[in-house]
Amino acid sequence: MAIPDAALERAAELRAEIAFHNRQYHRFDAPKIPDAAFDALMQELLRLEKEFPQLLTATSPTLNVGGPISKAFSEVRHERPMLSLENAFSREDIEDFWRRLQQKIGDHEVTLVAEPKLDGLAVSLIYDKGHLVCAATRGDGETGEDITANILTIGDIPQQLEGTGWPSHFEIRGEVFMSREGFKRLNECALLAGEKTFANPRNAAAGSLRQIDSRVTRERPLSFYCYGQGAYPSEDLPSHHYQLLQQLSAWGIPINPEILRVTSIEGCLSFYEDLMKRRPTLAYDIDGVVYKVDLLADRERLGPPTARAPRWAIAHKFPAEEALTRLISIDIQVGRTGALTPVARLEPVFVGGVTVTNATLHNAEEIQRKDIRAGDQVVVRRAGDVIPEIVRSLPDQRPLTSAPFEIPTHCPVCGSKVDHSPEETILRCSGGLFCPAQHKESIRHFASRKAMDIDGLGEKLIDQLLERHLIETVADLYTLSANGLSALDRLGEKSAENLIKALDESRHTTLPRFLFALGIREVGEVTGRLLADHFRQFEDLMAADTASLEAIPDIGPSVAQHIVTFFQQPHNREVIRKLLDNGVFWDPLPARPATEALPLAGKVFVVTGTLDGFTRDQASAAIITLGGKVTSSVSKKTDYVVIGKEPGSKASKARDLGIDLLLEEDFIHLLKESGHEPSGT
Ligand code: 9MJ
């Protein structure tokens, strides 16, 4: 069958692109596109070559591992080819793998070794009479670069083996990588020194290992885990891969402690799921897991390797955390407090296991710094449950007509001037409640579950109520009638009645909720509770000055000023008066007993570290309610230090001073003994 011109052209295009990206990745340690985008190019070429086998040539990247080798290092010919791994992306791919194993070695139970797949750089290490004599990169799989001098600087890798019994000449293989912490430190130092930073730990590891000057490599935080053997005398090989790793470990070679043996598809998948869950908490980056046939004799029975990969192993890749897509536009959202947030509208893209259409751009300055423009191809990242973000754009493919992003000087909704305070990166609309966006968001906040909890009052309904002038302020919500609501689009009679009922029920609230609902800047739920607890009477809070507010633990000068400013505004006082006139009420808090009579009166506490059941504010509020005092530093006057996880220096100082340390369970016990009831909202 003749090959259609279109297929020929596309194959040539794909090969050129793949060659370019291979060079970026392997030669310069600076990939231009995410791994998943590269994999997609490769998959497309594989599909074409499968459909039109005449397309396949010996030099096709689908048959070749890795990238070109640098002339900066001398060449090392591998005693055995260093292969790559076949990739699996789904349960079906793993089932296929098992089926293939069953066909060839199904005459006994098959055990696999499951390993994390580190995202680093594969290296070969040769030991001669127990001494590390040669280290090489994978290179093109046949020939690698001699990086012995650099490998000798990595403290994890033994230059002389421990114990006894090693073969006189053997080769092991493993991954050199950089921990996330090490990568962060390295980039921070580079930034301070005005040097180039690395995009990720993998590039940093590769860049560090391929330094001409090994004194530079010595300064880099590199680690190593061995995952198998290369050329190894067969008479010295243990029968199983797992045993071999244990043996190597006994000679001082680092082995990943996560490695496990599994005997079923379910075993593989649960290893995969577990590691994927723990992926964000691991000290290093992994991009999947690898399953390997444990019994080495079985590997022979599976047949010779394919062009790139052995048949006895498969890499089960995690969903890519980075993907390429097009940035359609940069919208500016105006929040309740006027903060302007740029939001990226994206062509839908599958990343981190979900389809993403919006991503955060953090702030306007960052967009300018990274020169991200509407219309650009961009790298989107979604790691774990973190909100998707735009990492960078690919300016090479930018349309000629594109213009740099401009920091708005005026609010896109109301046209008011934008404030840009020097100490904040945040831009803020100065329009206050006159800005329709802020106004609408403040009503949404008022109705939200943790505030007045008005069930059924959503964004669309609020839009209509405002557009039809049925409400001006939140106080007007309480003048609505089912009759009046019947004019609204798509709001049935029943829903209208339900909303009126919900509004009516919300009239009976609590003082902490009411304070939170008012939407005073920096007054969240916890501060609302703290203020209610302290003042008891709403009128007293309204009349408070900054000095009396700042005297309350955990109320700083900024929030104190916001509170005073809020209650000074005639507009706010008017809305509050109307809310109370329209029937909003709360049960008065019982008068506070004299502080001296309270169980923790006179006791001084410090809270440090992370508690499981309380935020720091909640723990402080509980102590204060019981008459105790909370301070931020440990001194001789401190009676108790409550310690959570990762407590830091305060705990050791307390220990030095002989102060009572309370673990969270001791603290809860003390609170209970003192008659504390957890405060609900
Ligand atoms: C990584 N990257 O962690 C292999 N790998 O085995 C592990 N790579 C591998 N094994 C054979 N754990 C070829 C590559």
Query: For residue 328, what pLDDT band results from cuts at 50, 70 and 90?
Result: very high
Count how many residues are written for the chain.
681
C-alpha dihedral over 572, 578, 581, 586, to 10 degrees?
-50
For residue 439, is pLDDT > 50?
yes
pLDDT of residue 631: 82
Confidence (pTM): 0.65
Q: Is the CB of 85 under 6 A from ligand 1?
A: yes
Of residues 97 and 193, the one with the higher pLDDT is 97
In sequence order, what are the beta bridge partners of 255?
226
Residue for token digits 């957890």? 678
Asked which of 113-122, 617-626, 664-673 is least confident by mean pLDDT, the reply is 617-626
Beta strands in 525-672 (DSSP E): 585-586, 604-608, 629-630, 640-643, 660-663
For the stretch 276-320, pLDDT in tens is 999 989 999 999 999 999 999 999 999 999 878 999 999 999 988
pLDDT at 498 over 70: yes
Whether residue 453 is predicted with pLDDT greater than 90 in this model: the reply is yes
Kindly tell me if the per-residue pLDDT of 679 is higher than 60.
no
Residues designated catalytic: 117
Predicted local distance difference test score (pLDDT) of residue 680:
43
What per-residue confidence (pLDDT) applies to 423? Answer: 73
Measured in Å, residue 520 CA sits from the centre of ligand 1 at 55
pLDDT the model gives residue 134: 97
pLDDT for residue 161 = 96
The answer for residues whose C-beta is within 8 angstroms of residue 610's C-beta and 6 or more apart is 644, 645, 646
Task: Single out the residue of 677, 680, 627 nearest to residue 510, CA to CA.
Answer: 680
Of 477, 442, 458, 414, the C-alpha closest to 566 is: 442
pLDDT-based confidence at 422, cuts 50/70/90? Answer: confident
Q: What is the pLDDT of residues 377-406, one digit of tens each?
A: 999 999 877 889 998 999 888 888 889 999
Whether residue 332 has its Cβ less than 6 Å from ligand 1: no
**One-letter amino acid identity for 566?**
F
Atom number of ligand 1 nearest to Cα 122 = 2
Is the model more confident about 540 or about 554? 540
Mutating to test ligand 1, I would choose from 119, 172, 175, 268 the residue with most ligand atoms within 8 A of its C-beta, which is 175
Percent of the chain with pLDDT strictly greater than 70: 98
Pocket probe mutation, ligand 1, options 176, 227, 318, max atoms within 8 Å of Cβ:
227
Distance 198 CA to ligand 1 centre (A): 23
Distance 102 CA to ligand 1 centre (A): 22
Ligand 1 atom closest to residue 117's alpha carbon, by position in its atom list: 3
Q: State yes or no: pLDDT of 538 exceeds 90.
A: yes
From residue 393, give the alpha-carbon distance in Å to each of 34, 213, 325, 327, 380. 11, 32, 10, 9, 9
**Cα–Cα distance for residue pair 662/678, rounded to 1 Å:** 18
Contact 228 CB / ligand 1 (< 6 Å): yes
Residue 287's pLDDT is: 93
Residue 27 has a pLDDT of 74
Q: Of ligand 1's atoms, which has the minimum distance to the CA of residue 309?
A: 13
241 alpha carbon – ligand 1 mean position (Å): 12
- Ligand 1 and 313: CB distance under 6 A: yes
Long-range contact list for 381-388, CB < 8 A, 24+ apart?
Answer: 381/321, 381/322, 381/351, 381/352, 382/321, 382/351, 382/352, 382/353, 382/354, 382/356, 383/280, 383/321, 383/352, 384/279, 384/280, 384/352, 387/359, 387/360, 388/351, 388/352, 388/356, 388/358, 388/359, 388/360
> Please, which pLDDT band fits residue 331 given cuts at 50, 70 and 90?
very high
Q: How confident is the model at residue 194 (pLDDT cuts 50, 70, 90)?
A: confident
113 lines ligand 1 (CB under 6 A): no
| Nearest one of 379, 378, 368 to 328, comparing CA atoms | 378
5-22 helix and 35-51 helix, angle to the nearest 10 degrees: 150
Determine the pLDDT at residue 66.
Answer: 61
For the four alpha carbons of 229, 233, 237 and 239, in that order, the dihedral sign comes to positive
The answer to whether the CB of 284 is under 6 A from ligand 1 is no
Q: Is the pLDDT of residue 340 over 50?
A: yes
- Name the residue with the closest Cα to ligand 1, atom 1: 117
Atom of ligand 1 nearest to the CA of 228: 6
Higher per-residue pLDDT: 262 or 616: 262
Residue 179 Cα to ligand 1 middle (Å)? 17
Given a cut of 90, whether residue 616 has pLDDT beyond it is no
Q: Is 115 in the pocket of ligand 1 (CB under 6 A)?
A: yes
Q: What is the pLDDT of residue 128?
A: 96
Ligand 1 centroid from CA 123, angstroms = 10
Which amino acid, 36? A
Which pLDDT score is estimated for 436?
92
Ligand 1, residue 256: give the atom nearest the CA. 12
Q: What digits encode the pLDDT tens for the residues 632-652?
A: 888 888 999 999 888 878 888
For residue 515, what pLDDT is reported?
96
pLDDT digit string, tens, across residues 136-188: 999 989 999 999 999 999 999 999 999 999 999 999 999 999 999 999 999 99
CA angle 535, 538, 542 (to 5 degrees): 90
Average pLDDT for residues 322-341, to the nearest whole number? 93
Give me the residues paired with residue 389 across strands.
360, 381
Whether 117 lines ligand 1, by a CB cut-off of 6 Å, is: yes
Per the CB < 8 A criterion, the answer to whether 435 and 334 are in contact is: yes
Q: Find the 136 Cα to ligand 1 centroid distance in Å.
A: 16
pLDDT computed for residue 309 by the predictor: 93
- pLDDT score of 563: 96
Q: What is the mean pLDDT of the chain?
A: 91
The crossing angle, in degrees rounded to 10, of helices 570-581 and 557-568 is 70
- What pLDDT shows up at residue 65? 63
Residue 681 pLDDT > 50: no
Would you say the CB of residue 66 lies under 6 angstroms from ligand 1?
no
